[in-house]
Structure 1
Amino acid sequence: MKIKVGFGFDVHQLRAGHPFVLGGVKLDHHSGAYGHSDADVLLHAICDALLGAANLRDIGYHFSNTDDRWKGISSLVLLQEVVKLLSEKDWRIGNIDAMVCLEAPKINPHIPAMKKHIADAIAISEEDISIKATTNEQMGFIGREEGVVAYAVCLIEKDTNKLYAPQPNIIS
């Protein structure tokens, strides 16, 4: 078995009157994350962690913010596309651990729904997804509710017994 880990980070501005989608769940809040897609900062960090672990570059490389195909799209779709890329290389997800940093709204009540949306989208167990939240103690752009940040780490696995391994040339 071969395993790799990946790290992801994402940040988005918060804008008044804009929808706030986090982990595939629309939150009721006076402002929301702004971006080319639905600006789901949590899913973007998870995508980058998965892509990084598999050495497949980053989310911007695969889903450019200048490509109209991704304009307004659900980041759950982007996550599914990332998992397809991993699957093509025989990787499967072991687990995902994520942290969201924002002052408001409180996301703890929404974490079970976020885990369900993610698990359903990429066919892994909710037990293999951890989502946590913290504030920035009212400091900086996060503390002023101008932005939201997410971090993610993941573990991916590949069964090396199924793969062809070239045999070394024996020199006699």
Structure 2
Amino acid sequence: MTGSAEQIALLVSQVVARLAEREQRIYALRLQQLRQGIDPVVFLRHATLHLQLPDLGFIQRLAEGDGDDPAVSALHEAWSWGVRVHISLHQQLLAALPRSKLLPLPLSFSDHLGHQVRLSANRLLSYRDVATLDPCWLIVGRKTLLTPLAKECLPTRHIQLLRQE
């Protein structure tokens, strides 16, 4: 290899190492910090934002895409940088989530104890839909039908079904 080829290989390996490091890094923040905006350096160094325990009003503004809310705008900016967004919510808020409006957004959720929260758009849940799920909260619409085998599978997989009214 020539000197320049070795330099290019070294540079590429350094970029790959930094990207791999970024992929593992999570930036945790509260709603008040999010409202103040996020330094773009955070997006360069972290692949995931973890918003901790926001209130239901913010979740509703996020679902509506309220661009006047600085916290909503900050999340949109994070998405534009390719950053994943995870939100942990208090369990008491789960039933009030605007499920259908949140489904299209690139979000993941957990409750305040760290249990995964999944939103489902399916109108029918079969065994196949629930058998591969890890223990979680599964939030479905009030008219969602479950097959008998799916119902039987829920407790064995430690899945808490939450129907929204």
TM-score, structure 2 normalization: 0.28
RCO higher in 1 or 2 (8 Å CA, sep ≥ 6)? 1
Q: Which has the higher strand share?
A: 1
TM-score, structure 1 normalization: 0.27
Q: Which has the higher helix share?
A: 2
Q: Which has the larger radius of gyration?
A: 2
